Structure 1
Amino acid sequence: MRSLPHSSLGILLLPALLLVLAASPPAAPLSPDGLALLAFKAAVTDDPTSALSAWSANDTDPCRWPGVACVNTSSTEARVAGLAVAGKNLSGRLPPELGSLSLLRRLNLHGNRLSGAVPPALSNATSLRSVFLYDNNLTGAFPAFLCDLPRLQNLDLSKNALAGPLPPALGRCRQLQRLLLANNGFSGRIPAATLPQMKSLQLLDLSSNSLTGAIPPELGKLQALAGTLNVSRNRLSGAVPPELGRLPATVTLDLRFNNLSGEIPQSGSLASQGPTAFLNNPGLCGFPLQVPCRAAPPSASSSTPPPTTTGSGGSAGGGPSQPMKTSLIVLISVADAAGVALIGVIVVYIYWKLRDRRGDGGGDDEDEEGRGLFFCPCMRANTCGDSSEGSDAGGDGEKKRGNGSGGGGGGGEDGELVAIDKGFRMELDELLRSSAYVLGKGGKGIVYKVVVGNGTTPVAVRRLGGGTAAPERYKEFAAEAGAVGRVRHANVVRLRAYYWSPDEKLVVTDFINNGNLASALRGT
């Protein structure tokens, strides 16, 4: 058979090649979400860690880019739902094209050097739930347009250079749960009329700004607060409003480093706050600060003038009165002293008579009365008063009055403070007399910080509840406490002692002062 020439073979293969090229689809263009992300890359002027180097227009799928998270929709292409490029020291600005990411739920660009204002077009990203732009160099006023985002729950703009007053438009942030504006330059008064409208707010941090005026009582209407209310390191003045006592007992107040004055109210949850909530306010006094409030001197207009004595030569028309003789004054003073002494003798006589009648039985009653007051003198940060924690402690104390049954530590009647750590030198009486305040309350009881002796040895005391337990449970409790006490680990708090009685179980551990959970999670 004769072979075909090369020219004839090329003519035969050309139609087949055209069919193959027609069957292969052309390269798909970059999606609109990818173009918006490239606009952000173009707005970045310095990328020292090459965090955005893999973002390329030649890549048709932005969902594979570092820091980008996508979600599948009913359409054929995935949409950008998260942008997290944090702590990369990026310099530049926020482009308005980010507002075109209509399904973006989380924007996390904290820990960079982004500058300029927050673009108003960002309010077009209506699916945003969390915006974390803290620790940048953003300037301008508070971006009130972000309150138009219908699903926004978390807004953190702290550690920037934002300035100006807090606008009334904050009231439109009705879905906001966490608002952090610390370490900026905000000034003026806290908008009182706006705060009650933020019914979902759980955490509010306005610390380290230049806010002035009084603390608005309307802050007490934020019933959804569950974390921290921080207005420290401002220029606030005036008194602490008693309405703050209406806040839930779980709220931690921070009013430090202001110009507040007057006596600290002891209403509601204010009574359970520790002294650290009120420090560095030179004009504040009263509990829990160790600054007594001075009694106001009576005014001259309200003082009662001394009665005048009319002598025998005085006229009925109000003539000049004669002064009392010195001998009469001495006689009246001696008579008063004698009367007071007589009353004291009678009271002492009655007391000893009653004690003799009670005999041996009286001692048991007195011991039981002392045990009935066991917890309130120990944890006396006004926890026996108005606060919710205090009412619980006080209620348990009343419940224990006159209860003479039950076995204490080791099966005894009174209970015993057992030291697990040999270095623990505290007696039960010393623990009872020490000052303390509530740290927190949960399903496992109330935790108190107890300052012992000269204030240099704080411990944490957890009250495990007041329900009566069977005496046979003591051995099980002591065995578990001994096992925990032998644990030595850097991340496990050391158990120092425990107390067991029929109605009271206490666990004494080291007090670890290491900030709060929010700071640990954010790495600040």
Structure 2
Amino acid sequence: MATTHLYLFLLLILSSAASSSSDISSLFDFATTLTNADRLNWDTIQKPLCNDDGNSSDWTGVLCKNGAINGLRLENMSLSGTINATALVPLRLFSLSLLNNSFSGPFPADVKKLTRLRRLFLSRNNFSGAIPDKAFIGMAALREVDLANNGFVGKIPNSLIRVQLTNLTVQNNQFEGKIPDFWQEGLVANFSSNRLRGAIPDVLSYEDASMFSGNLGLCGLPLSPCPKIWYRKTAFIAAASAAAGVALISILLLLWRRRRTRPMRYQKSVNHFKSEATKAESIAADAIHNKAEEQGKIHFVRSGRERFELEDLLKAAAEVLGSGSFGSSYKALLLTGKPYVVRRFKQMSNVGKEEFYHHMRKLGRVTHPNLLPLVGFYYKKEEKLLISDFVENGSLASHLHGKRKPDQPGLDWPTRLRIVKGVARGLAHLYAEFPSLALPHGHLKSSNVLLDGAFEAVVSDYALAPVINRDHAQEFMVAHKSPESMQSDKVTRKTDVWSLGILILEVLTGRFPANYLKSGRGPGADLATWVNSVVREEWTGEVFDKEMGLGRSCEGQMLRLLKIGMCCCESNVEKRWGMEEAAARIEELKEREGDEDYSSYASEGEGYSSASRAVTDDDFSFSRAS
């Protein structure tokens, strides 16, 4: 027994020494691009990076925990030069502080490769220029960001709303435009002394007013209220406001009066609906007073959000977005400048009023960056309105299948992979949030995957199965087009995984799945069947959408995602992966062969299996035909 213990001890020492040697090499690679690096003692010290206690180091600025380096604190050292963040990727850093140095030039673009970072401090340097909107994409573990006292210009990056920030400091720069629509409750932030304008997001309304001082035109709590007529003065909004809400009133009445809606495959033209609104204008004028008596109250399910009445929606500038199997939807721009999407449902009387209210409150507690938050609802026995935030880049379906301008590129492979990862993360959260629900989503398809300003996935229309009329759900919901539903009219906790698989195949092939259509039930109406036949017969890249920008460096990762999609679409429910397995496998994928994994979810245990492993050909039920 003693011999065995000694052997294991020696293995541990050798493994630690090899790891330390690799980490030291990474540190020296990082230091070679720094000016004034002689202020570090790295080239003179011979000790291991971490001392015997495992939680301290004699190396300048090196932070250790449990015997491994986990951060760099290089502060107040007059350092300058180039920040080679790529060299630091192997170190598994959780914090990086370079505050109060002399770094200049643009924001270091490769910082986003440090996907495990929780804290990034770059304040009190001489950085300048605009920070790319996608600068923080993939940094899912990020919690604290300090960019204060630099010379940054342009807009505050929207990618910061894709992480669960707790602290943000950007004061004393030259940032302009609006403050991003942060959703993170409890966020502590300082935006003072910039050039910011517009309404302060609701989630920041409890901050001290000093955190917003010294800007050009911020308004709303905790500052003075925004003018009633304040909003962005684009040509469209100006034209819409001139109509004094007539369009929206007309559309609301049309939606209330229409007895049937026709499913749409793609978004209809806004002009078509505007013409309908014009025809109904006289009806609106006569009926508005009668309707006022019937109007109920909007019930808000999320704290710290703007409050408004149904009358405010009636006065808002309107833009009809489309009509689908669940109901019609429109965009309403309130006088405060905040846009919302209002969905109208008629086939939602499966439960009574108390149960409906209870389920909506549960949905209001769901908070995740890849899930569209429900803001509030309007209840009436015959129909319901669900209110959510507006997501600016439309749906994934419109980008995959809609008509684009000649100069507008399609979604490339890195963007599509990022979208799939976001969808998987959102689904995994739903599975954890609703452990007893057979269909945590139920209607997952590309038109219900929205894309924000940074082209991150925001999943909508989730967890509505309990309140949708059963006959309507069986006829239209994507989950009921699954093999198990076709065979026995039953769904399981793995049915949403099948929907995820179909979505993955749609993203990779660019083909519209017949599964989404009302008539998409039955043998052969399955995108997975087509993909499987092409793969088995040819095993070529012909299955992939050419608009992704194919290249040898990424074909291997595309193929791995294709295999994951097929495993999610396994017709035998017993053999099909569960949600945890599917999400973990997707999380391991990279943009190209040889890349470091740019997401920390799998490694940090944020809802994914800690035992996840690399995807290999042996893991799948199909292989290349000989």
User: Is TM (by shorter chain) over 0.5?
Assistant: no
- TM-score of the superposed pair, with normalisation by structure 1: 0.35
Q: Which protein shows a greater Rg?
A: 1
Name the structure where helix makes up a greater proportion of residues: 2
Q: Which has the higher contact order (CA 8 A, sep 6+)?
A: 2
